[in-house]
């Protein structure tokens, strides 16, 4: 299974077995995290693997799991989207190797390991072996036509790419993203929600899904900031970035 395949295979887990994950797998995870690609490599970040038997986390909605992965980041323009882009890679990596995950909201920051200087905790993910099967259906998603406008010339491969972003996970399943797909590029916008910081994180996840799907469809994509968009900005939405689709051929 590839990271792209994991987009469609992953299901959020609420009940974890307390059985330990193989140590070699945890070592490989930490190596992978050291090589993970950032949306903006200039933003300082750090992953911290927390074992529940060593550090007791707190929070009103905290899921009980044997392990937690915490992402710290400095506060900067685009840092929340960058955090979503980073953490989703870790989540999909764990999915590839049969490890279940659940994004955590409302973790008591006071119970987390101390943040590196100049950084703060952005998101925590619970992970471990699932208790039972994760074969159930995912949370309902909006229809493709409700989250994307396809301009003339955007072919079936572009629709496949946007479909991978459409099913991305988001806080409270709010799905704050909106896309405008044109030949050779996909513009990403963010809808306002009460979770002002959370929505930017969610759009970072969607951006990663776009990138993985583009690579799967034989593009060499890159994320850029377009200073002058060709179309009027969608009402009440903020611009996140644009995925350029350059062909390998």
* Cβ–Cβ < 8 Å for 83, 72: no
pLDDT at 140 over 80: yes
- Last-in-domain residue among 71, 95, 128: 128
Q: How far apart are CA 47 and CA 217, in angstroms?
A: 30
66 and 40 share a domain? yes
Q: Is the pLDDT of residue 8 over 90?
A: yes
Torsion of CA 171, 54, 89, 187, to 10 degrees: 30
The pLDDT, as a whole number, for residue 102 is 97
Q: Which residue has the higher pLDDT, 230 or 150?
A: 150
Domain-located, residue 133: no
- Average pLDDT across the chain, whole number: 92
Q: Does 43 reside within a domain?
A: yes
In a domain, 138, yes or no: no
Q: What is the pLDDT of residue 135?
A: 65
By percentage, how much of the chain surpasses pLDDT 90? Answer: 80
Do 55 and 111 lie in a common domain? yes
Instruction: Please report whether residue 231 resides in a domain.
Output: yes
Residue span of the structural domain in which 188 resides: 144-247
Lowest mean pLDDT segment, chosen from 34-38, 113-117, 125-129, 225-229: 225-229
Residue the block writes with tokens 């999909």: 92
Q: What is the pLDDT of residue 151?
A: 87
Q: Are residues 197 and 243 in the same domain?
A: yes
Q: Are residues 11 and 120 in the same domain?
A: yes
Whether residue 109 sits in one domain with residue 28: yes
Residue 194's pLDDT band (cuts 50, 70, 90) = low
Mean pLDDT, residues 105-132: 94
Joined together, the tokens standing for residue 8 give 């469609």
- Rounded to whole angstroms, the Cα distance separating 101 from 68 reads 9
d(CA 18, CA 157): 42
Question: What pLDDT was estimated at residue 28?
Answer: 96
What's the pLDDT score for residue 60?
Answer: 80
Over 80: is that where the pLDDT of 12 sits? yes
What is the per-residue pLDDT for 20?
94
With residue 189 as reference, give the H or E element that holds it: strand 185-190
- Is residue 76 situated within a structural domain? yes
Over 70: is that where the pLDDT of 195 sits? no
CATH of the domain at 230: 3.40.109.10
Over residues 84-101, the mean pLDDT reads 97
The answer on pLDDT for 69 being more than 90 is: yes
In a domain, 135, yes or no: no
Q: What is the pTM of this model?
A: 0.94
Do both 100 and 40 map to the same domain? Answer: yes
Residues 6+ apart with CB under 8 A from 150: 158, 159, 181
Question: Number of structural domains, the chain?
Answer: 2
Residue after which a domain boundary falls, among 128, 156, 177: 128
pLDDT at res. 228 = 79
Please report the pLDDT score of residue 196 as a whole number: 55
The mean pLDDT value for 157-178 works out to 94
Sheet with strand 45-51: strands edge to edge: 45-51, 67-73, 120-128, 100-104
| pLDDT beyond 70 at 13 | yes
Are 17 and 99 in contact by the 8 Å Cβ rule? The answer is no
Q: According to the model, what pLDDT value does residue 23 have?
A: 95
Q: Are residues 184 and 123 in the same domain?
A: no
Residue 134 lies in a domain: no
Please report whether residue 139 resides in a domain. no
């Amino acid at each position: 299974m590839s990271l792209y395949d994991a987009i469609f295979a992953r299901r959020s887990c609420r009940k974890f077995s307390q059985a330990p994950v193989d140590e070699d797998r945890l070592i490989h995870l930490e190596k992978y995290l050291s090589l993970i690609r950032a949306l903006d490599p200039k933003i300082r970040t750090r992953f911290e693997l927390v074992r529940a038997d060593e550090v007791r986390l707190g929070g009103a909605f905290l899921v009980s799991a044997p392990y937690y992965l915490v992402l710290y980041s400095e506060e900067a323009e685009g840092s929340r989207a960058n955090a979503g882009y980073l953490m989703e890679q870790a989540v999909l990596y764990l999915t590839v190797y049969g490890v279940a995950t659940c994004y955590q909201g409302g973790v008591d920051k006071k119970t987390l390991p101390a943040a590196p200087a100049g950084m703060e905790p952005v998101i925590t993910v619970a992970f471990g072996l699932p208790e039972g099967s994760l074969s159930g259906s995912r949370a309902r998603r909006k229809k493709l036509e409700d989250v994307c406008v396809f301009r003339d010339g955007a072919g079936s491969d572009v629709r496949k790419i946007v479909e991978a972003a459409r099913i991305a996970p988001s806080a409270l399943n709010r799905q704050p993203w909106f896309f405008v797909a044109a030949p050779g590029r996909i513009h990403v916008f963010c809808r306002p929600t009460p979770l002002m910081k959370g929505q930017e994180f969610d759009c970072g996840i969607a951006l990663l899904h776009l990138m993985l799907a583009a690579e799967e469809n034989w593009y060499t994509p890159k994320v850029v900031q377009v200073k002058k968009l060709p179309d009027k900005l969608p009402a009440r939405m903020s611009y996140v970035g644009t995925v350029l689709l350059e062909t390998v051929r």
